[in-house]
Amino acid sequence: MPESQGELRDSPHPAGASSAAAVVAAPVSAAPAVVAHPRTLRWELWLRDLFISLAIAAFIIIFIYQPVKVEGTSMMPSLADHERIFVNKFVYRLEPIERGDIVVFRYPRDPSQSYIKRVIGVAGDRIHIDGGQVYVNDQPLDEDYVPPAYTDVQSLQEMVVPAQSYFVLGDHRNMSRDSRDFGSVNQSYIYGKAVFGYWPMDKLGRLR
């Protein structure tokens, strides 16, 4: 708030008054200057910076990135039980969900729970599984993120992914409840993309 400025105006001489007469303004006593103690000033600046940092962090967490903890082994070896990651909750406002994305969504049979899986098929794709081998539009899917020890021998008859829906699977195929069990996931249930692992430190980095 800018300091208020005092204004001093000279009073005009009355008409016909002697030139010897003078109007003298009463002296105005200046307010004593207040000097902030350097330590107090530092605390004020620190609190201001802390408030701004917390506000920015809250905005990022609420609207963009959310830290989450993975529970379960259905996404091993890509994501381990109790691994901590960041989920981007804004990215799908800017770009479409694509095959290979690791997404977080509300479980269709109980929206109070959240699941994390990999997108295998998008709307209109024809999916079938033969002895563990996944086919998308009759083409075998090369899944280097599923080591031999994590595969299974399940089969699934061909299905077409409905509009605005996605077929999702866990990377640990014989330990995952996914679209083979509960069907495709509507886009309205998907609320984020897993993008970055931050704990444990040996898993630090971008998710793929």
Task: Give the per-residue pLDDT at 180.
Answer: 97
> Which residues have C-beta within 8 Å of that of residue 158, sequence separation ≥ 6?
126, 127, 128
| Structural contact between residues 165 and 187, judged by C-beta atoms closer than 8 angstroms | yes
User: Which among 82, 85, 26, 90 has a CA at the least distance from the CA of 63?
Assistant: 90
Q: With respect to CATH, is domain 66-126+159-206 assigned 2.10.109.10?
A: yes
Of 189, 208, 207, 187, the closest CA to residue 197 belongs to 207
Give the confidence band of 32 by pLDDT, cuts at 50, 70, 90.
Answer: low
What is the pTM assigned to this prediction? 0.72
Neighbour-count burial of 182, counting CB atoms closer than 10 A to its CB (0-12 exposed, 13-18 middle, 19+ buried):
middle
Q: Of residues 69 and 29, which shows the higher confidence score?
A: 69
118 Cβ contact partners less than 8 Å away, ≥ 6 residues apart: 75, 78, 100, 101, 102, 103, 145, 168, 169, 170, 171
Are the C-beta atoms of 116 and 79 separated by less than 8 Å?
yes
Percentage of residues of the chain with pLDDT beyond 90: 67
pLDDT at 28 over 70: no
Contact between 168 and 125 (Cβ < 8 Å) = no
Is the model's pLDDT at 163 over the cut of 70?
yes
Residue 14 reports pLDDT greater than 60: no
- Residues serving a catalytic function are 74, 117
Residue 134 has pLDDT above 70, yes or no: yes
Give the E-state strand segments of the chain in sequence order: 65-69, 84-88, 102-106, 114-121, 126-130, 133-136, 139-140, 156-160, 165-169, 185-186, 190-199, 205-206
**pLDDT, averaged across the chain:** 83
Section 135-145 average pLDDT: 97
Buried/exposed 89-101: b ≥16 CB within 10 Å, e otherwise: beebeeeebeeeb
**pLDDT, tens digit, 9 for 90 and up, residues 195-208:** 999 999 998 999 98
pLDDT for the residue 23: 37
Q: Give the model confidence (pLDDT) of 61-99 as tens digits.
A: 655 788 999 999 999 999 999 999 999 999 999 999 999
The pLDDT value recorded for residue 128 is 98
Classify strands 126-130 and 133-136 as parallel, antiparallel or unpaired: antiparallel
Tokens of residue 38, six digits = 């350097």
**Mean pLDDT throughout 181-187?**
97
pLDDT for the residue 21: 34
Specify whether the CB–CB gap between 161 and 121 falls below 8 A: yes
